Amino acid sequence: MSFVFNADEIFEMALQIERNGEKFYRDSAKKVRDSEAIDLLTRLADMEVEHQKIFKGMKSALTAADQKAMTFDPNNEAGLYLASLANTKVFSEKDIGTSKLEGIFRSALAAEKDSIAFYLGMKDLMPSGGREKIEDIIKEEMRHIRILGERLAALKK
């Protein structure tokens, strides 16, 4: 079964990914005792909130045509599919090791990489002005990967 999503649905999926990321970072910050790690995780959660604001703004600027469903979907299966995909692929609760700082950083790295892959695909569906905003978010997610990678490497020393 294949789905064709409209821009509104794609933004909703991006928002869910960012909400999941924020929750992951905030929940993880509560589980660690290292003050530097708590600060980092809190800052990453705050960045995810900023991404949500950007996506909400882009979503609110959509035209009625952009929000129109591209397929007949009386049971909202496409929406349920999007929610499931957003909740199982990026910052999902499966296989996330949050009992140790190393597991938190490894899980966050994997999720950030998955979010970049999603946003790269999303970028191709956006008009040129939207692409620039998505590109900015991709660059920030790449910065998250660098920061998390550095912290993970420091743990191994």
DSSP for residue 61: T
| pLDDT tens digits for range 52-82 | 998 898 888 877 665 555 455 566 665 565 5
Q: 49, 22 in Cβ contact below 8 A?
A: yes
pTM value is 0.76
Distance CA 74, CA 132 (A): 34
Name the burial class of residue 16, with classes exposed (0-12), middle (13-18) and buried (19+) by CB atoms within 10 angstroms of its CB.
buried
| pLDDT tens digits for range 84-108 | 665 665 665 545 555 688 999 999 9
125, pLDDT greater than 60: yes
Structural domains in the chain plus CATH codes: 7-155 (1.20.1260.10)
Higher pLDDT, 124 or 103: 103
